[in-house]
């Protein structure tokens, strides 16, 4: 069984690839850099999407949809934004094909677009161009819009979920009357992301602000949630940007304030992507396969009958019905797998590999004893339980799994977090992986040097924790507070 999956200790990257493919989450498509998200993977993404969407709505946001194609000239409006994305844009240059005797079908050279269309790598430009028409008065603000969409970034190297040329995400784009409102929105959504990561993904995250070199192209400040994966590498799981008035100025979005004066609006944008799937996988899964937190598992409980004869299966099915009903009544999603073309052992392995949080097995012995065997995926423990009050016990078990996963991930992060004060110490520590808190003089030069010499980047300047000043571990210059270094995905 376990021989179909590379061990994490042997080759973590290979383990990840094997897992994604063999747990049926996604596969490489024939199209370079693009993946096919398979039903099991997509079902998890849908759970994430629904949970996040609910949190966005609860904070006053509404959904809308903007075009996939952005006129090339829009990108020229905001200087740093163009610079950030120019190198990875797919561009539509023609709008028609024609048949060709030799090649079958070719681009019709006659059908060249007057102005090329950029396939959105992100939507700030088209959205701000649109907002110009929506915002006239302070009474139109705040404007709190989100969109669920696909975006394209022409990446050199891709990895399933972590970096693909096309990916799914949500991007919130908000407009505000004051700087303070926009800043509050930025932080509000950062908190939403952090809460989602911890309560749903069961993944502890650190909230922080990015250094200038890691900042989103066009932002004044980029805030992020950073998580630590099992191999000691950090993963940026979500970002929330305070855009200042940059896009409002670039697209001339002004409103009339209460004093009848014209002002540029203040903006934010924030997003999380299918990369969260990678974060989820790498946070909890083990050498036996995928491990899913119950709140994101497409199916929380699978029931496997064990029978030798059709009569036995019928008897088991009858016994199982009230169990299924009582679980459903508690809002627990459950699947009864009475497929007789697979054997129980095969099913056990399969559901374990795919990360189903709880498995209930019921066989002839259980029929006699009024029991079932309950196995939990996170610890692989099994116990035999009386059927009485089973649903209630399962409900508690699911909660226990959810919190156990979070606790384990938190403990793992703490074990792989340390503070260092000297550069030699840092170099040694970074080889061990994990998050390293160290003092930095705040200059881009020092940051670049550290990256060059150690491949570690500043993941963020944490918002909470030790904020006492010190001296830069590299230059000895004054440092306002410790920042977090790590090698990152």
Partner RNA sequence: CGGGGUGUAGCUCAGCCCGGUUAGAGCGCUACGUUCGGGACGUAGAGGCCGGUGGUUCGAAUCCACUCACCCCGACCA
Judged by the rule CB under 7 A, the positions of this chain that interact with RNA are 1, 4, 13, 17, 22, 28, 30-33, 87-88, 153, 155-159, 162-165, 167, 214, 216, 236, 239, 273-275, 288-289, 306-309, 343-346, 348-350, 352-353, 359, 361-367, 372-373, 375, 380, 382, 455, 488
**Minimum Å distance from CB 153 to RNA?**
5
Given the complex with RNA, which of 135 and 372 has the nearer CB atom? 372
Given the complex with RNA, which of 220 and 264 has the nearer CB atom? 220
d(CA 269, CA 143): 12
| CA-based radius of gyration for the chain | 26
**Minimum Å distance from CB 138 to RNA?**
32
Given the complex with RNA, which of 178 and 404 has the nearer CB atom? 404
b/e per residue 127-141 (b: at least 16 CB within 10 A):
bbbbbeeebeebeeb
Given the complex with RNA, which of 344 and 470 has the nearer CB atom? 344
Give the start-end residues of each E strand in 254-370: 254-256, 262-264, 266-273, 301-305, 334-336, 358-362
**Minimum Å distance from CB 139 to RNA?**
34
Given the complex with RNA, which of 41 and 289 has the nearer CB atom? 289
Given the complex with RNA, which of 120 and 264 has the nearer CB atom? 120
**Minimum Å distance from CB 236 to RNA?**
4
Angle at 113 between CA 107 and CA 118, to 5 degrees: 95
**Minimum Å distance from CB 270 to RNA?**
11
Question: Would you tell me how many other CB atoms lie within 10 Å of the CB of residue 152?
Answer: 20
Sequence-distant (≥ 6) Cβ neighbours of residue 208 within 8 angstroms: 223, 224, 226, 459, 460, 461, 462, 463, 484
Given the complex with RNA, which of 4 and 106 has the nearer CB atom? 4
Given the complex with RNA, which of 6 and 236 has the nearer CB atom? 236
DSSP string, 373-393: EEEETTT--EEEEESTTHHHH
Residue 9 structure tokens: 């200790």
What residue has token string 């571990």?
Answer: 473
**Minimum Å distance from CB 415 to RNA?**
24
What residue has token string 């996939």?
Answer: 68
d(CA 218, CA 248): 11
CA nearest neighbour of 132 among 43, 30, 249, 15:
249
b/e per residue 50-71 (b: at least 16 CB within 10 A):
ebbeebbeeeebeeeebebebb
Is 87:40 a contact under the CB 8 Å cutoff?
no
**Minimum Å distance from CB 369 to RNA?**
8
Sequence-distant (≥ 6) Cβ neighbours of residue 131 within 8 angstroms: 143, 173, 175, 251, 253, 265
**Minimum Å distance from CB 405 to RNA?**
18
Measured in residues, the chain has a length of: 489
**Minimum Å distance from CB 174 to RNA?**
19
Given the complex with RNA, which of 265 and 267 has the nearer CB atom? 267
Given the complex with RNA, which of 75 and 167 has the nearer CB atom? 167
**Minimum Å distance from CB 210 to RNA?**
9
Residue spans of alpha helices (H) in 376-485? 390-415, 423-432, 444-454
**Minimum Å distance from CB 478 to RNA?**
27
Given the complex with RNA, which of 52 and 141 has the nearer CB atom? 52
What residue has token string 């022409």?
Answer: 154
Cα 217 to chain centroid, rounded: 20
Given the complex with RNA, which of 52 and 143 has the nearer CB atom? 52
Using DSSP, state whether 157 is helix, strand or coil.
coil
**Minimum Å distance from CB 85 to RNA?**
9
Question: Would you tell me how many other CB atoms lie within 10 Å of the CB of residue 365?
Answer: 11
């Amino acid at each position: 069984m376990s021989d179909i999956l590379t061990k994490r200790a042997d080759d973590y990257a290979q383990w990840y690839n094997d897992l994604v493919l063999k747990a049926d989450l996604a596969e490489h498509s024939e199209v370079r850099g693009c993946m096919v998200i398979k039903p099991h993977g997509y079902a998890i993404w849908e759970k994430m999407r629904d949970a996040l969407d609910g949190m966005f709505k609860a904070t006053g946001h509404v959904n809308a949809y903007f075009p996939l194609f952005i006129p090339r000239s829009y990108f020229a409006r905001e200087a740093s934004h163009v610079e950030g994305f120019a190198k990875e844009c797919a561009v539509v240059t023609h709008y028609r094909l024609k048949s060709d005797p030799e090649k079958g079908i070719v681009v019709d050279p006659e059908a060249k677009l007057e102005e090329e269309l950029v396939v959105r790598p992100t939507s700030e430009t088209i959205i701000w161009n649109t907002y110009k028409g929506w915002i006239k008065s302070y009474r139109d603000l705040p404007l709190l819009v989100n969109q669920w969409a696909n975006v394209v970034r022409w990446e050199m190297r891709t990895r399933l979920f972590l970096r693909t040329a096309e990916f799914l995400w949500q991007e919130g784009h908000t407009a505000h009357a004051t700087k303070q409102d926009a800043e509050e929105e930025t932080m509000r959504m950062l908190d939403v992301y952090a809460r989602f990561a911890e309560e749903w993904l069961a993944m502890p995250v650190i909230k922080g602000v990015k250094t200038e070199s890691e900042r989103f192209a066009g932002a004044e400040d980029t805030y992020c949630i950073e998580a630590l994966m099992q191999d000691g590498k950090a993963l940026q799981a979500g970002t929330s940007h305070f855009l200042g008035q940059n896009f409002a100025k670039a697209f001339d979005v002004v409103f009339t304030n209460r004093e009848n004066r014209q002002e540029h609006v203040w903006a934010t944008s924030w997003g999380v992507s299918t990369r969260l799937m990678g974060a989820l996988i790498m946070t909890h899964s083990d050498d036996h396969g995928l491990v899913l937190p119950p709140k994101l598992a497409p199916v929380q409980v699978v029931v496997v009958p064990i029978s030798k004869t059709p009569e036995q299966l019928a008897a088991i099915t009858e016994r199982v019905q009230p169990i299924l009903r009582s679980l459903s009544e508690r809002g627990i999603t459950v699947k009864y797998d009475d497929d007789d073309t697979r054997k129980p052992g095969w099913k056990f392995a399969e559901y374990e590999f795919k990360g189903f949080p709880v498995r209930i097995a019921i066989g002839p012995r259980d029929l006699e004893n009024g029991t079932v065997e309950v196995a939990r995926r996170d610890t692989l423990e099994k116990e035999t339980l009386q059927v009485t009050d089973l649903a209630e016990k399962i409900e508690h078990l699911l909660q226990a799994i959810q919190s156990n996963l979070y606790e384990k991930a938190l403990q793992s992060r703490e074990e792989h977090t340390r503070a260092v004060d000297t550069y030699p110490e840092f170099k040694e520590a970074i080889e061990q992986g994990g998050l390293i808190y160290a003092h930095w003089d705040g200059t881009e030069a020092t940051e670049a040097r550290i990256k060059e010499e150690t491949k570690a980047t500043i993941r963020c300047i944490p918002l909470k924790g030790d904020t006492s000043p010190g001296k830069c571990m590299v230059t000895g210059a004054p440092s306002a507070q410790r920042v977090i270094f790590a090698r990152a995905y």
